[in-house]
Chains A and B, each alone.
Chain A
Amino acid sequence: MTALRRPLALTLILLLILACFFAPFLWIVSNSFKPQLGIFSDVTPISWRTFLPLEPVLDNYRSLFERTNILRALLNTAIVSVGQVTLTLILCAMAAYALTRIKFRGSQVVFVVILLTFLLPVEAMLVPLFQVVSGLGLANSLLGVMIPWIASPFGLFLLKQAFEELPRDLEDAARIDGAGHVRTFFSIILPNVKVPLLTLGLVTFLFSWNSFLWPLVIAQNPDIQLIQVAIAQQGSPTQLPNWGETFAGATVATLPLILLFLVLQKYFTQGMAMSGIKG
C-alpha cells in the first residue's frame, strides 16, 4: 500500500465500524423525537434526516410517562440495583476477608463449595429458583428480585484477589496495636480496596439493571415491575401503533447506564475483563 492509500483505507474501515455500532443507537434516539409518519418517511431513502430529528417533538416521551408505568418501573429498578450492589459488596467483602485474612480449619472446603457454584449456568436454575423464592414468600417483592444474586461467587473472587494483593505488614501493625478482625476489616482492609469495590459495584449494577428473565417470572405484579420487563411488554413493530414511544422507552431505560459507563469507563472495562477470568 502506498503511504496515501493506507490512511484512506483505514479511515473507511473505521467509519464502517463506527456506523455499524453507533448508527442503530442514533436511529433509535433521534426517532424517539419524531412522530410516527416522520419515522417511516425518513427511512426510505436513507439520508442524513434518517438519523436526525429536524423538528424534534416530545410527544413520545410525554405519552410514555403519562400512559405507562415507566416511572414506577425506573424507581423499582433503581431500588433493586442499589440494594443489590450494596448487599453484594458487604457480603462478598466479609467473605473475602475471612478467606484471605483469617487462618481457620476448613477454609479450603469453603472455597471449593463457593468455586463450584461459579460453574452453574444462571438461566438453567430458573425453575427451581422460582420455587425456592416463592416458597420463602418473596415472589412479587423487590427483595425477591435481588436476593438470589447477592452471594455472588464472581464478586467473592474479584475481592479475594484484591485482598490477597494487599501487603500483610498493614494488618500486622494493626494487630500489634491490639486491633481485632472487625476493626482490621473496616479500618485497614476496606480503605485499601476502593477500586476493586467500585469495579465490582459497577458490574453488579450493570447486571442488576439489565436483568430480564428473572424479574419477568418473579415480579409479575405491575406495581413492582422492573424497567426491562416494562420495555419488553411495549410490543413488536407490527402490532404497535407508535414506534416512537417504544424508542423513547428504550432510550430512557438505557440512558442511566450509558452515562455511568461514559463517566467510569475505565472501571467498567476492567470489571468486564475480570468477569471473564473464571475457571
Chain B
Amino acid sequence: MTAIDRQMDAPRAAPRPARNARQRKDTRTAFAFLAPFLILLLVFQYVPLAMMAKNAFMDYSLLNPDAAKFVGMLNFEDMFYFDDARESLAATFLFALIVVLIVIPLGFVLALFLNSTLPARALVRTIIMLPVVTSAVVVATMWNFLLDPSNGLINGVIALFGLPRQPFLTSPNQALIMISVMTAWQQVGFATILFLGGLQGVPKELSEAARIDGATRWQVLWNITVPLLSRTTLFVVVIMTVFSLQAFAPAFLMTDGGPNSSTNLIVYHIYKMAFVMQNAGYASALSLVLLLIVLGISLLQMWLLRAKWNY
C-alpha cells in the first residue's frame, strides 16, 4: 500500500480503531476462556500423539526412556516378521465382529420393544442398562465366575439340561467366543438406547400409511423401519467396533491373552509389550497401527454418512 492510498483510506478507516479494539478485546477474552481447555488438550492429546509417531521408530524401555535409540522401520518389520501382531489383530477383529453380530440384531429388537406400547418397558430398559453402567472389571470378574468349569453358574445351567460341562475360558475354541458374548451382553443396552433414538426419529405417518394400505407389520418393519434406520445402524456398528477394538479387561482378567494367544486383544498386547516386556518402541508402533485402523473406520463412517441419505 502506498502513502497516497493510505491517505485516501484514512477518512473511511476512522471508526476502525474502536472496532478493532473491541475485536481484540473479544479475542483476548475468548482465549482466556479457552486457555485451560486448550493447554490440557495440547499436553495430553497432541503431545502424546507426536511422541507416539516418533517413538514408533525408536527402541527404548519405559524404565529408561532417555536411552532411546532410533531404529528406523525395524518395529514395523518385526510386526511382519513375527506372528504376534498378526495373531493379535486377527483375534481383535474376530472379537469385534462377534460383538457386533450379536449386539446389532439384539439391540434393534430390544429398541423396537422399548418403542412399542407393550407392558414392562421401563423394567426392561433398567435391567438391560445395568451391565452398561457396571465397569468392565466387575463384568469380567463376574463372568470369570459365571464361566468357571466346575462351580460356575453357566455350567450349572448346562448341567440342568443334562449336557456335559464346558471348559470355556481354557479352551482355545471357546475362550474368544465367550469374552465376545460377555462384551456383547455388557454393551447391548447401549446399542438399544442408540437404536431407540433412531426409532423415535422415524415419522409415524409412514408406517401408519403403509398399514392402511394393507402392509403387514413384518412388511412395515422390513421395508420402512429398517431402511430408515440404516444411518443409525451404521453408526452403532462403528461405535461398537471402535469400542471392541480397544477392549482390554477381558484379556487381562480372564484369559491372559490365551489359550494359544487366541484372546490376545491388541490393547492387552500393547500393554504387555510396553509395561511387562519393556519394549516400548514396539508397543508404540502397535499403538500407531491401532490408531490408524480406528481413524480409518471413523473416516469411512463420515464418508458413508455424508448428507446424501439423511432422513
Contact = CB atoms under 8 A, between A and B. Distances in A.
Contact of A46 (B62, B156, B249): B156
B267 A210 contact: no
A131 B33 contact: no
Interface string A77-103: 000000000000011101101110011
Interface stretch (B3-11, B71-79, B144-152): B144-152
Contact of A95 (B33, B132, B135): B33
Interface in B276-293: 280, 283-284, 287-288, 290-291
A151 B41 contact: yes
A269 B129 contact: yes
A253 B138 contact: yes
Nearest to B235: A276
Contacts, number: 276
A133 B43 CA distance: 9
A189 B20 CA distance: 26
Q: Is the interface of A mostly helix, strand, loop or mixed?
A: helix
A128 B284 contact: yes
Nearest to A26: B153
A169 to B, nearest CB: 20
Contacts of B209: none
B45 interface: yes
B29 A129 contact: no
Contacts of A232: 137, 141, 249, 252-253
A161 interface: no
Contacts of A206: 133
Contacts of A122: 246
Nearest to A107: B30
A156 B137 CA distance: 28
Q: For this complex, into which size category does the number of interface residues on chain B fall? A: 35 or more
Nearest to B265: A123
Contact of A265 (B62, B129, B252, B301): B129
Interface stretch (B82-90, B93-101, B120-128, B221-229): B120-128
Contacts of A219: none
A131 B196 CA distance: 41
Contacts of B249: 212-213, 232
B114 to A, nearest CB: 10
B47 A132 contact: yes
A119 B298 contact: yes
Interface string A141-164: 000000111110100100000000
Contacts of A212: 135-137, 248-249
Nearest to A93: B33
Contacts of B274: 126-127, 130
Contacts of A133: 44
A110 B142 CA distance: 44
A121 B291 contact: yes
Given A17-B124, A127-B284, A132-B43, A231 B138 contact: yes
B295 A250 contact: no
Given A121-B294, A132-B51, A212-B137, A24 B146 contact: yes
B96 to A, nearest CB: 12
B202 interface: no
25 contacts: A17-B128, A21-B128, A44-B156, A92-B37, A104-B30, A107-B30, A110-B34, A114-B37, A119-B298, A121-B246, A125-B45, A126-B270, A127-B287, A128-B49, A128-B55, A129-B48, A147-B40, A213-B271, A234-B141, A237-B144, A246-B141, A258-B134, A269-B193, A272-B190, A276-B235
Given A98-B34, A132-B43, 10 more contacts: A21-B128, A24-B153, A28-B145, A113-B38, A125-B48, A212-B135, A231-B137, A237-B151, A262-B126, A279-B238
